[in-house]
Structure 1
Amino acid sequence: METYQDSALRDDVKKAVAELGFIKPTPVQAAAIPVIMESDRDLVALARTGTGKTAGFGLPVVNDIDTDINAVQALILCPTRELCLQIAKDLAAFSRFRKGVNVVAVYGGAPITHQIKDIKAGAQIVVGTPGRTLDLINRKKLKVGQLKRVVLDEADEMLNMGFQEELNSILGATPEEKQTLLFSATMPKEAKKISQDYMTDPAEISVGHSDAGNSNIVHQYYKVRASDRFSLLRLLIELDPDMYAVIFCRTRREVNGVAEDLRFAGHAADALHGDMSQAQRDDVMRRFRKGRIKLLVATDVAARGLDVSDLTHVINYNLPDAPEVYVHRSGRTGRAGKEGTALSIVTGKEVRKVRDIERYSKIKFEIKEVPKQDDVYKIRALRFADKVKNAKLDDKVAAFLPEVIETFDGMEREELIQKILGYGLGNLSKQLSGQKPIREAKDDDRPDKKGRNIDYTTITMAAGRNKGYNVPQIIGMINRMVPGKKIAFGKIDIQNNMTYVGVDSKEAKKVVAAMEGAVDKGTELNVRMFEGGTKVDGPRDFAPRKRKPFKPGGFKKKKKW
């Protein structure tokens, strides 16, 4: 199958494909479509994000719908509402010239009565999230007795999100005689069990992994200390004011913090994560797609189904633990033949993750020198000057040109240029003036004061400066609550309502277990392993503190009451 016109697709589906601008199928489409259409065999397809898998299963699904049968004939399951809506939108585009093919999306966070009404009106294809789909089946509003095909899209992510039981229940309710298609980026043991329990001798294809580096994406990373992540992010954004990017963070709290700090710095940024209401998420995505938001800070799960073809950058504020997740993330840029850049901010100890990704995906990373503020000023000044040079004078302004020229009378050329640059870059100077220089991280852990090389793991507790904590109090409290020998501490970062503590990795689980349910100063500490891995790393600085000279009579007697 070299072109869509060579395929066994119906003419009205080929016409829709042609109007969408599809000519040559992607590798996953070329491999999957013939298997799905030319046999009733089940299929397991390993394909990363951005490889065109929606068309790989969607075109055969739309092609084979019998419009004379008023029943659901195809069920497509996916992990998130965003992906559900995107798949439904794509299938509607594929079927635009097929009269009588109706696609209905069902998902949580929206009135179920509306979805029931749409199904009753006649739906041959249902695209749904597992929870809402099972709910509709249990209510007997979604009847699956005449299903011909079931598609599990992003199966690994559905399992990661805890939908194992829902998937088992849904698949158990479907007819035995059907074609089951499982699409996944990875094949965890749970997905293998699904293929063993609910599929018969499936064909297997794997594309998009070994050739992950052969794309229009440039992969780069910067190595800095954990505490300098945000400072570097700001500089990278200032270096490229036209950046249109998704910034991936690990946790919802970090997503909110980074998005808020970017807005405070004057950037059009917003957050996307699972704690937001569906209406909030829809609003953020609408503004991002329209370009009103240029920087979207998101978690991996929330960004599932995100399909924006013009992204210039994907930024990994934190590298993911799994190499395949990195490939998923980076695949969101460099689409539709356009060039894209995947930037990663890593600490010294995280460089090993870069090497893991290189081995897994055949991607080659380029390490970049950490930019300085002077680099930002220079690039922005040259870009601003170029824009001024190429600006066209409006006719209405031209009428007042003599008076404007008179305003600058007596100024030297260099002075005038300085004034223009000062006016054009004044806000940039204010934003960066208080930022400290960024320090490059080292690959190796530094020894502690006893000369031991210790690997540190970060734990968090839900209390900080708002409860009056300082570093000695944090250390003393943990040592009191953890039995046995004293713990080796790394850096300790006390924020307003959260504290990050680096502890000896060998003792980290012991500390968390010992402090389970701990209450101090009337506050439940909620001690946990930090999901981001290493927010604070390396030993503390043990330089002796300067003591104030002792003054005779310096102590005051306490008053007696």
Structure 2
Amino acid sequence: MTTYQESDLRDELKRAVADLGFITPTPVQAEAIPLILADGSRDLVALARTGTGKTAGFGLPVVNDIDTDLDAVQALILCPTRELCLQIARDISGYAKYRKDVKVTAVYGGAPITHQIREIRSGSQIIVGTPGRTLDLINRKKLKLENLKRVVLDEADEMLNMGFQEELNSILGATPDDKQTLLFSATMPKEAKKISRDYMTDPAEISVGHEDAGESKTDHQYFKVKGSSRFALLRLLIELDPDMYAVIFCRTRREVNGVAEDLRFAGHAADALHGDMSQAQRDDVMKRFRKRRIQLLVATDVAARGLDVQDLTHVINYNLPDAPEVYVHRSGRTGRAGKEGIAMSIITGRETRNIRAIEKYSNITFTQQPVPNQEEVYKLRALRFAEKIKAATLDSKVAAYLPEVIESFAGIEREELIQKILGYGLGELSKQLQGQGDVKEDNAKEKRLDKGDTDYTTLCVAVGRKQGYTVPQIIGMMNRRLPGKKINFGKIDIQNNITYIGVDSKAARKVVAAFEGAEDKGVRLDVKVFEGGTNVDGPSRSYGGGGKKKQYKPGNFKPRPSFSAKKKHRKG
């Protein structure tokens, strides 16, 4: 399939994609569409990173095969967030432009369920939904699936990361056995593989834009500075590129709010996006961001899941994510549709190993960039300011007073006048940059652990905040299972359905063995060595370890103030 016109899609679909300006399918579309249409029953697992056109890859066949004589749900598309749900529903409706009897309904949390029920009853054949609301409608017997022909799991890894494993199992268990199941994901974690094994039959497999993530038009850069200089560097990077249209990723809600507020104070069009905001607030922020009233969106991973904004020039990692696959998701939001983009990461020297882990995982190549200084910013801004003055035109009303204005400058030499104009135009910038201090580079090489230091391995435990666990409870559970054992622990990171614990590498296997078959609060703990790249095992808040740190042992293990949980789960 080299063009849409050569495909087996209906003529109505070919007309619709032509109206949208689509001529040549993307690689994932070229592989997926023929496979899905071939006989309508072969399951498919497609690894495709963000921005590769996968919505059309499954959306066009879904619309193509709808029986318009049947007013019943025939296709169910599941996705992680309300934002993505609405986006997919809009795209599907666009593909169905000339199939007038095809009806699409989006179902998601945070909106009145009664309206969605009315839409379904009116004869919707395609449902696009988040897992929480979809399961609610199924349990209420308002969403009936006996005529379902096709299920699509879009961004399956993101849904699983958000804690929707149980909901997905329940939804898939309620669907007919003879349906076609399509799983699209940027990465393939073990939970997604389990879904493939349990709910799919001999699926075809394609991989596009996953291993070859480094071949996109995104330039991956990193800057190495002291942790205290993160914001100062961020300011300089933004000042060097005033046309920047970017998403800036931070770890926590508090950090998101702080960075956004500081950027606004510095005169930038910035705002925050995080999971603690109401849906109305989030919708308002996204509306303004899409219209570019906001140029810099500071967000957590949870809030930005499913974020689909065209023409982003930059993605900036104020903090690196907890796992390489999350970096692939983040960076995939720029450099889309053949356009160039830049993914910048601000790291400390200790986090160099994290960059290497991402390179190994995704075939991405990073380049270390020199840290800019204030003099570079002053020079560029001064030259841009001069160009704007040269390009300015005089309003006729102001021109009437030109002789008087010229007279007011009498006695000032040309060079002095230029200096005064420049000082007036850039004086505020100078004050702000001087007030924030210099950016301090971190030239320390990745440290090797000395004999006196502890090397940590990350363990994962299959419980988290959703089961009501806190750091003290995790500590107590470890102490109960390891009486008398002198084992050093590192950081504890409690997420929604999983907890990461840094453990002395020498004792990691012993700890796993001690917890074999263990349960707590009636829940199987399933303690394992984590192989996925997230680390809480070092003294920094990144997934790199190393360096000296205070030791904590069972029995006298008290949580440090720096232990904090990332709020990762938001029901759809």
* TM class, shorter-length: 0.7 to 0.9
Distance 2:325 2:424 in 1: 46
Residue pairs, 1:30-429, within 5 angstroms: 30-39=30-39, 40-429=41-430
Distance 1:224 1:115 in 2: 50
Alignment-derived partner of residue 537 in structure 1:
none
Q: How far did 1:528 drift?
A: 2.1
Alignment-derived partner of residue 29 in structure 2:
29
Q: How far did 1:400 drift?
A: 2.5
Letter in structure 2 aligned against 1:14: K
Q: How far did 1:397 drift?
A: 2.4
Q: Deviations over 1:155-192 (max 9, x none)?
A: 11111111111111111111111100001111111111
Q: Deviations over 1:476-497 (max 9, x none)?
A: xxxxxxx999x9999xxxxxxx
Q: Deviations over 1:250-277 (max 9, x none)?
A: 2222212211221222221111111111
Distance 1:409 1:242 in 2: 37
Instruction: Flag the structure with more relative contact order, 1 or 2, with Cα contacts below 8 A and sequence separation at least 6.
Output: 2
Q: How far did 1:68 drift?
A: 0.7
Paired residue secondary structure (1:147): coil
1:510 aligned to 2:552? Answer: yes
**Does the CA-based 8 Å contact 2:221-2:343 persist in structure 1?**
yes
Using the size of structure 2 for normalisation, the TM-score is: 0.80
Residue number among 553, 560, 563 corresponding to 1:528 in the alignment: 563
Gaps of 5+ in 2: 458-483, 492-537, 568-572
Distance 1:513 1:317 in 2: 36
Letter in structure 2 aligned against 1:11: D
Letter in structure 1 aligned against 2:386: A
Distance 1:52 1:307 in 2: 12
Compared with structure 1, are the counterparts of its residues 301 and 75 closer, same or farther at alpha carbon in structure 2 (3 Å cutoff)? Answer: same
Compared with structure 1, are the counterparts of its residues 318 and 138 closer, same or farther at alpha carbon in structure 2 (3 Å cutoff)? Answer: same
Distance 2:91 2:389 in 1: 43
Distance 2:344 2:2 in 1: 34
Letter in structure 2 aligned against 1:344: S
Compared with structure 1, are the counterparts of its residues 135 and 484 closer, same or farther at alpha carbon in structure 2 (3 Å cutoff)? Answer: closer
Distance 2:231 2:342 in 1: 19
Letter in structure 1 aligned against 2:111: A
Distance 2:400 2:248 in 1: 46
**Does the CA-based 8 Å contact 2:350-2:447 persist in structure 1?**
no
Paired residue secondary structure (1:127): strand
Alignment-derived partner of residue 548 in structure 1:
none
Alignment-derived partner of residue 19 in structure 1:
19
Q: How far did 1:281 drift?
A: 0.8
Distance 1:348 1:161 in 2: 30
Paired residue secondary structure (2:198): helix
**Does the CA-based 8 Å contact 2:490-2:552 persist in structure 1?**
no
Distance 1:426 1:366 in 2: 34
**Does the CA-based 8 Å contact 2:158-2:305 persist in structure 1?**
no
Q: How far did 1:347 drift?
A: 0.8
Paired residue secondary structure (1:528): coil
Distance 2:249 2:556 in 1: 32
**Does the CA-based 8 Å contact 1:321-1:353 persist in structure 2?**
no
Paired residue secondary structure (1:296): strand
Q: Deviations over 1:214-267 (max 9, x none)?
A: 222221110011111111111111111211100011222221221122122222
Compared with structure 1, are the counterparts of its residues 488 and 4 closer, same or farther at alpha carbon in structure 2 (3 Å cutoff)? Answer: closer
Q: Tell me the matched-pair count.
A: 491
Paired residue secondary structure (2:25): coil
Distance 1:22 1:512 in 2: 61
Measured on the aligned residues, the alpha-carbon RMSD in Å equals: 2.9
Using the size of structure 1 for normalisation, the TM-score is: 0.82
Q: How far did 1:19 drift?
A: 1.0
Paired residue secondary structure (1:438): coil
Q: How far did 1:154 drift?
A: 0.8
Gaps of 5+ in 1: 458-482, 491-499, 519-524, 533-561
Q: How far did 1:527 drift?
A: 6.2
Q: How far did 1:526 drift?
A: 6.5
Identity %: 73
Q: How far did 1:309 drift?
A: 1.4
Paired residue secondary structure (1:301): helix
Greater C-alpha Rg: 1
Q: How far did 1:357 drift?
A: 2.1
Q: How far did 1:436 drift?
A: 1.7
